[in-house]
Amino acid sequence: MNAMISLKDAGLIVLFVALIIFVIYMIFVAKNLVVTVKSLNRVLEDTEVITDVAQKRTTDVDGIIDDIVGSVSGISGALKGGESKAKSASSIVKAVSSIIGAFKGKKEDEVEE
């Protein structure tokens, strides 16, 4: 039995095999893409958490800095003689309490997380 394959048939067979290989390759690409997207979603969720923490810390630090600036200006005014001794003492106490509050707030937040 002699079977002859024409060039047209050979070309179609090669094209069909190439199509099957391409489909298999695209399945692997899609599988890897799904894994990559899941990993990217985890990274974005972590980034969101870190951004929220940074935003809260920035707000806390901004309030603490405002208190410290007010206290330092009160102390400098007291040193220049612009405030009474009671006011200067309260400024010093306020500055110390602001610094202590900054460290206490940090420790409490670390315990919560």
**Per-residue model confidence as pLDDT tens digits over 21-76:** 999 999 999 999 999 999 999 999 999 999 888 888 888 777 777 777 776 776 67
Residue 109 belongs to domain spanning: 60-113
Q: How many domains does the chain have?
A: 1
In a domain, 11, yes or no: no
Kindly indicate the confidence band of residue 78, based on its pLDDT and cuts at 50, 70 and 90.
low
Contact between 88 and 75 (Cβ < 8 Å): yes
In a domain, 50, yes or no: no
| Tokens at 61, concatenated | 């630090």
Q: Please enumerate, as own/partner, the contacts of 79-82 that have beta carbons within 8 Å and a separation of 24 or more.
A: none
In a domain, 42, yes or no: no
In terms of phi and psi (left: phi > 0; alpha: psi -120 to 50; beta: otherwise), the region of 4 is beta
In a domain, 106, yes or no: yes
In a domain, 108, yes or no: yes
Alpha-carbon span 60 to 89, nearest angstrom = 25
In a domain, 95, yes or no: yes
In a domain, 81, yes or no: yes
Alpha-carbon span 15 to 13, nearest angstrom = 5
In a domain, 94, yes or no: yes
